[in-house]
Structure formats: structure tokens, C-alpha cells
């Protein structure tokens, strides 16, 4: 029998969860929602992938935008998706959820003839099942006849090939038809019919996991110990009883006289913010240990810690910790009962769950506003023409990128709105400026007429916020304090709304630059709590200066994506020399150069001396030259 290449395949529900953002309000009054992948088995697939397991999911999604969102997110998380069927006739399931208080979590399942409910046994492939160490089946899908057959087939194939069967009881009474649409948060209604269905599954399982109420449903008794004994009479599986803040208790063999005599894993004392999804995170942590042959005590610790993260945050799958985050928490703990307020943990979470990024970044920067406005004024043409030119710049970058990864653009929303839309068609990495051009002390464009957070919230989720500060270590204390306060405000807003941050530092305009000048600025910003995803820096004067930049990042944020070089309108030969010097730096990942590429073309085009094609070709030639120089450095 070939060795399995996957750790687990989970089977069943997949949905798009829409979480109300007004905490403490009625679901009727929710005005805005956060979107996330949901559904117990899909959450488990994502949760285990984040913890380092090779996971897959068997489910169905609709052939529409919500279905594609689930597929794309699974792929970003590293979950194998060949078991996901795209259903051309049915819509992806939706769930609308809210948080009223720590005990009330209203939710509505939109599952009438939804895609995942149509899962069919013909979609259970024997070779695929045999390729995993374990299959995870979930209780809710046994309420649907065709889906139940699919799960039973998966169980039979898993046992045939000597694989483990894991059962998450996942009891939702209203999905068994025992409560109305408005009772989605109801966790337990006694039903002999449900118990009979579940007990038919128990003998085939190696691991059974449920809350006390879920074990009541599976064991047919509302006395927890009696229910566990009833389960043991039917199954030799390891039984895990989840007990909320009390942690869990595990029964790998004979059931003792007291539930307290099982193998106990204590819980973590955290604030309960939202219990929805906590069980899926718990299961992910337990499986990370169980499928890696860790002791049961370790499985319990990892499971309870993962559950603690989930109850302390709002969403389901996006809140599951990565293995790095889990280990950080277990090593360092947290001074906060509300883990979502722990800055150090949140940074590890953010940095280890960001969207994947190519190893290098080559960007055409044309987020310039005042400089191009001056060119238009000099040429005597309306500033409205700038927007057309920026679209040409996108075309130029696309000619060089040819659809490959690792290419990007810096574009603004003032003159580059249409260019931003067009850049999205090419899959470019995109960064957008927040600063008022040329401001020192730093000012933001939103300061005059809007909210920074509201502005960021309108951006596509993959757009990077860029802020430029003219900052020198010799600046006076008042200037430094004012600029640092603005940078901190930007950094906080980016984290709150989930946008990556690029901080651009230019020192040379306001003083001499030595081997430690830029690195000292970086260390100062790190000291005040600013950890950008990206730095955009001037070319450094020496290899020693680049070594200082490397050290500043290594000492303060090993998760930083890296540095991109800026151009400052330097001639191309100077930039090529800067590229060669930067090859000594581990953290330099690419460049984001502007006027050196577009400056001459802009002046010629705005003056009517170049047509669209000539200007585009000139920019493409210069961008291509820098790309060749970077790739050949």
C-alpha cells in the first residue's frame, strides 16, 4: 500500500460566512459584514493547513463569485482542492452571523438546495481517499441522504485502506429540521432520530470529538458520562469531550468512574468574544497533534490553545492560528485575556496569514501627483490628461510582465483611478499612496476631508497602503514626534482594516546619509511599534549600509516581506549600479521606480511630441531594462 501524501481529507459543508461588524447589536440592525470562508469541514481543512498539515476538502461550491472566493481562499491557504466540485446549478451556501453578547450568537443558514448539500457518493474517489492518513466526516452532512451516502462511502474506503476515520459530531439541530431558520444558534435539541443516525457511524470511527451537548446527541443521554459510556459500548474510538473554558477531557480506552478521571487538557483563561468556529479551531489543533503521533496531552494543549484564539476573535477560519503563532503563544503567553488585543501575537498572526507573495517584486511607480501635475502645467494641458497617461503606464508594465508573477505598480486614486482598475486586470501587486505629496511633517490626503480607516476600507483587499516620510535622524524632536504619530496612525489603521503597509523613507533630502542613517530610522520606527510589511528605501552608499538594514529587520521583524529600492529620478545606469550593490542585502526583494521610467515619456506625451504608442513603448523599454538589470544582478 503506498504511503499517504495527505494528512487528512475533510468532507461536508462549505459556506461563505458574513459576520455582522456591530458587536452587541441585533442581527436585524447589522449594517456591515465581514466575509470569510466557513463550514465545519472547510474550517478544519484551513485550520490544519495553517498548522502545517497537508489537508484537503471534499465539498461543492456554486459556479459563481462566492464559490470562486472559497476555492481561491483554500488555494491561498495551501488546501488541496481537487475534491471541490463546482456545481453549475446550485448556489454556494451562505451564513449570516452576529455577536450579541458572550452567550448570544444569532445566525441564519442559507442552505436551501445549496451546492454542498448536493454532494454525491460518485464524487468520492477511492484513490483520493487512500491518499490521506485520515478522513474527517461531520455530523451535519449525515442529515442529508445523498451527502450521508457520500460520507459513508468515504468511511468504508478509508477503512479498506487502513486510514483513520475522524468524526466531528458538529450537531446543528435546525439543519436536522428540528428548529426554524431563525434558531441557527441553537446547539442542542434532544432527538432519538438524530441519535440513531449518529450511532450508526460510531463503530467505524477512530476518533470522535464533540461538545458535551454533541456527545449527548451521539450517546443518547443527557448525562455526559452516561453518553460517553454509550458511545464506548458502540465504538473503540478515542473520545474527546470539549468543555469550553474548562478545556477538554479525552478517553482513549475504558471509561472511568468520573469524567474528571479522563486525560484532561486544561483550558486557557481568555475572554469569550465569539464561540462560533471555536470547535473547528479546537479540532484543527487536536488533529495537528493526533496525526503527528504526539502524546494526547500535547494534542489537548494545542487544541485548547487554538480554541482560545477562536473564541477571542470575531471570524471563523481567518482567526485560526498558524503553527508559528500557536508556538509563540505557548512559549510567551499573553498579558491579555482578549487575545485580539495582543499586539505581538496579532503581528505573528497577520504576518503568517498574509496572501502569498512572489519572491521578488519589480514595480513601475507612477503614484506621483504633484510632479506630473507640474509637467502637465508646463505643457499647458488640462490635468485631466494625466489619467490617460497613467493608463498607458499600466499598458507598458503589462508588456514587460506578460502575466508573470512578481510585477507590480504604485498608483494613486487622484489621477490613477482608471489605471488602478486596469492594473487589476493584469494581476499586478498594487500599492497606493496615503501621504500628501511633499509634506514634511508628514500629512495624509485624508486629513482634510475624510477618515483614514474609511478610505482604506474602500480599497480592494489586496491593495497595499504606501506612506512616504521625509525623515532624517538629525531632525528636531518636535518634527520627529509629529511624523511618528502620523506613521503610527497609519500602521494601526492598516492592521484594523487588513491592508498591508509599505513605509517609504527618504533621508537624503534633509541631511547626509552614512552607513547607519537609514537603518537607525528603521530601528526607531520599530521601537515605537511600527512593523511595515514592506520598506521602500533609497539605494545605500555601501555594502555595510545594506548590512545595517538587514540587521535592523532581522532584529525587529523576521516576518517583514522585505525592501524595494526607489529611484528618485536617477539615470538608469545609476540605478543599475544600485541594483548590483543591493545584491549583498538579504532583505532587498526588488524595486519600485518611477520618474526614471516614465519622466521623459510623460513630458513628451503631454507636450504632444509622442503619441500613445511611442510613450508606451518608451516606458516599456525602460521598465524592461530595469527588470533585466534586476534579474541579472
Percent helix, strand and coil across the chain, each rounded to 5? 45, 20, 35
Mean pLDDT, rounded, for 355-379: 96
Q: What pLDDT shows up at residue 351?
A: 97
Output the CA–CA distances (angstroms, integers) from residue 443 to 328, 417, 424, 470, in the order listed: 36, 21, 28, 11
Q: What pLDDT shows up at residue 275?
A: 84
Q: What pLDDT shows up at residue 365?
A: 97
Output the CA–CA distances (angstroms, integers) from residue 294 to 289, 302, 307, 530, in the order listed: 5, 10, 18, 37
Higher pLDDT, 200 or 183: 200
* Summary mean pLDDT of the chain: 95
- Other beta carbons within 10 Å of 623: 24
Q: Phi-psi region for residue 91, left (φ > 0), alpha (ψ -120 to 50) or beta?
A: beta
Mean pLDDT, rounded, for 188-213: 94
DSSP 446: G
Q: Across 411-551, where does the E strand assignment appear? A: 429-433, 463-470, 501-506, 534-537
User: In this predicted model, what pLDDT tens digit does every residue of 22-40 receive, in sequence order?
Assistant: 989 899 999 999 999 999 9
For residue 186, pLDDT over 80 is answered with: no
Q: What pLDDT shows up at residue 146?
A: 95
Q: Residue 77 — very low, low, confident or very high, per pLDDT cuts 50/70/90?
A: very high
Cell representation of residue 300: 489537548
For residue 316, pLDDT over 90 is answered with: no
Q: What pLDDT shows up at residue 57?
A: 98
Output the CA–CA distances (angstroms, integers) from residue 161 to 57, 80, 157, 550, in the order listed: 18, 20, 6, 50
* Separation of first and last alpha carbons in the chain: 48
User: In this predicted model, what pLDDT tens digit does every residue of 504-545 receive, in sequence order?
Assistant: 999 999 999 999 999 999 999 999 999 999 999 999 999 999
87 phi and psi, to 5 degrees?
-90, 115
For residue 100, pLDDT over 90 is answered with: no
Q: What pLDDT shows up at residue 2?
A: 79
User: In this predicted model, what pLDDT tens digit does every residue of 110-168 receive, in sequence order?
Assistant: 999 999 999 999 999 999 999 999 999 999 999 999 999 999 999 999 999 999 999 99
- Other beta carbons within 10 Å of 498: 13
For residue 180, pLDDT over 80 is answered with: no
Cell representation of residue 493: 489603521
Q: What pLDDT shows up at residue 184?
A: 63
Domains of the chain (ranges; CATH) run 7-353 (3.40.1190.20), 361-632 (3.20.20.70)
CA pair distance 409, 363, nearest whole angstrom: 5
- CA Rg value for the chain: 28
For residue 185, pLDDT over 80 is answered with: no
User: In this predicted model, what pLDDT tens digit does every residue of 543-560 receive, in sequence order?
Assistant: 999 999 999 999 999 999
Please report, rounded to a whole number, the percentage of residues in the chain having pLDDT higher than 70: 99
Mean pLDDT, rounded, for 550-572: 96
b/e code 245-257 from CB counts within 10 Å (16+ = b): eebbbbbeeebee
Q: Residue 450 — very low, low, confident or very high, per pLDDT cuts 50/70/90?
A: confident
Q: Residue 276 — very low, low, confident or very high, per pLDDT cuts 50/70/90?
A: confident
CA pair distance 56, 78, nearest whole angstrom: 9
For residue 1, pLDDT over 70 is answered with: no
**Helices and strands in the chain, H and E counts:** 21, 21
Please report, rounded to a whole number, the percentage of residues in the chain having pLDDT higher than 90: 90
Mean pLDDT, rounded, for 563-575: 94
Q: Is the dihedral of CA 631, 352, 451, 418 positive or negative?
A: positive
Cell representation of residue 593: 521606480
Amino acid at each position: 500500500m503506498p504511503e499517504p501524501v495527505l494528512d487528512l481529507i475533510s468532507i461536508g459543508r462549505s459556506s461563505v460566512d458574513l459576520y455582522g461588524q456591530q458587536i452587541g447589536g441585533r442581527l436585524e440592525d447589522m449594517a456591515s459584514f465581514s466575509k470569510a470562508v466557513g463550514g465545519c469541514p472547510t474550517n478544519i481543512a484551513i485550520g490544519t493547513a495553517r498548522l502545517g498539515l497537508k489537508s484537503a476538502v471534499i465539498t461543492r461550491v456554486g459556479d459563481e463569485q462566492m464559490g470562486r472566493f472559497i476555492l481561491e481562499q483554500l488555494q491561498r491557504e495551501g488546501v488541496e482542492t481537487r475534491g471541490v466540485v463546482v456545481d453549475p446549478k446550485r448556489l454556494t451556501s451562505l451564513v449570516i452571523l452576529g455577536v450579541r453578547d458572550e452567550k448570544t450568537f444569532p445566525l441564519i443558514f442559507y442552505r436551501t438546495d445549496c451546492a454542498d448539500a448536493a454532494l454525491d457518493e460518485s464524487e468520492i474517489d477511492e484513490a483520493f481517499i487512500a491518499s490521506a492518513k485520515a478522513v474527517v466526516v461531520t455530523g451535519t452532512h449525515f442529515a442529508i441522504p445523498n451527502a450521508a451516502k457520500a460520507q459513508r462511502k468515504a468511511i468504508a474506503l478509508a477503512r479498506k485502506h487502513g486510514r483513520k476515520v475522524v468524526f466531528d459530531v458538529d450537531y446543528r439541530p435546525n439543519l436536522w429540521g428540528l428548529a426554524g431558520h431563525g434558531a441557527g444558534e441553537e446547539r442542542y435539541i434532544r432527538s432519538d432520530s438524530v441519535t440513531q443516525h449518529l450511532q450508526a457511524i460510531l463503530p467505524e470511527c477512530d476518533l470522535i470529538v464533540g461538545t458535551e451537548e454533541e456527545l449527548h446527541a451521539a450517546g443518547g443521554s443527557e448525562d455526559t458520562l452516561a453518553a460517553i459510556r454509550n458511545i464506548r459500548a458502540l465504538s473503540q474510538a478515542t473520545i474527546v469531550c470539549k468543555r469550553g473554558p474548562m478545556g477538554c477531557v479525552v478517553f482513549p480506552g475504558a471509561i472511568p468512574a468520573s469524567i474528571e478521571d479522563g486525560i484532561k487538557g486544561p483550558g486557557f483563561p481568555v475572554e469569550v468574544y465569539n464561540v462560533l468556529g471555536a470547535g473547528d479551531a479546537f479540532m484543527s489543533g487536536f488533529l495537528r497533534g493526533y496525526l503527528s503521533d504526539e502524546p494526547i496531552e500535547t494534542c489537548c494543549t494545542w487544541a485548547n490553545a487554538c480554541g482560545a484564539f477562536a473564541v477571542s476573535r470575531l471570524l471563523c477560519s481567518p482567526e485560526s492560528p498558524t503553527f508559528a503563532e500557536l508556538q509563540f503563544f505557548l512559549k510567551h503567553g499573553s498579558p491579555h485575556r482578549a487575545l485580539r488585543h495582543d499586539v505581538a501575537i496579532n503581528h505573528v498572526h497577520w504576518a503568517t496569514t498574509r496572501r502569498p507573495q512572489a519572491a521578488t517584486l519589480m514595480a513601475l511607480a507612477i503614484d506621483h501627483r504633484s510632479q506630473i501635475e507640474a509637467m502637465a502645467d508646463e505643457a499647458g494641458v488640462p490635468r485631466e490628461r494625466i489619467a490617460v497617461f497613467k493608463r498607458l503606464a499600466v499598458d507598458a508594465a503589462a508588456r514587460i510582465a506578460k502575466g508573470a508573477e512578481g510585477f507590480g505598480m504604485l498608483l494613486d486614486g487622484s489621477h490613477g483611478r482608471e489605471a488602478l482598475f486596469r492594473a487589476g486586470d493584469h494581476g499586478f501587486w498594487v500599492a497606493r499612496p496615503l501621504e500628501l505629496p511633499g509634506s514634511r511633517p508628514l500629512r495624509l490626503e485624508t486629513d482634510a476631508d475624510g477618515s483614514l480607516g474609511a478610505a482604506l476600507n474602500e480599497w480592494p483587499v489586496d491593495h497595499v497602503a504606501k506612506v512616504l516620510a521625509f525623515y532624517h535622524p538629525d531632525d528636531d524632536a518636535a518634527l520627529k514626534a509629529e511624523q511618528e504619530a502620523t506613521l503610527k496612525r497609519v500602521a494601526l489603521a492598516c492592521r484594523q482594516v487588513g491592508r498591508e503597509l509599505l513605509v517609504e523613507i527618504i533621508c537624503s533630502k534633509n541631511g547626509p546619509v552614512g552607513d547607519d542613517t537609514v537603518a537607525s530610522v528603521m530601528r526607531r520606527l520599530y521601537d515605537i511599534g511600527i512593523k511595515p510589511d514592506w520598506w521602500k528605501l533609497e539605494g545605500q552608499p555601501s555594502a555595510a549600509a545594506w548590512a545595517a538594514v538587514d540587521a535592523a529587520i532581522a532584529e525587529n521583524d523576521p516576518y517583514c516581506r522585505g525592501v524595494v529600492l526607489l529611484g528618485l529620478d536617477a539615470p538608469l545606469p545609476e540605478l543599475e549600479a544600485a541594483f548590483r550593490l543591493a545584491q549583498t542585502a538579504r532583505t532587498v526583494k526588488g524595486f519600485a521606480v518611477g520618474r526614471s521610467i516614465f519622466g521623459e515619456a510623460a513630458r513628451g506625451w503631454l507636450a504632444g511630441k509622442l503619441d500613445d504608442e511611442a510613450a508606451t513603448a518608451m516606458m516599456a523599454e525602460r521598465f524592461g531594462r530595469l527588470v533585466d538589470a534586476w534579474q541579472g544582478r
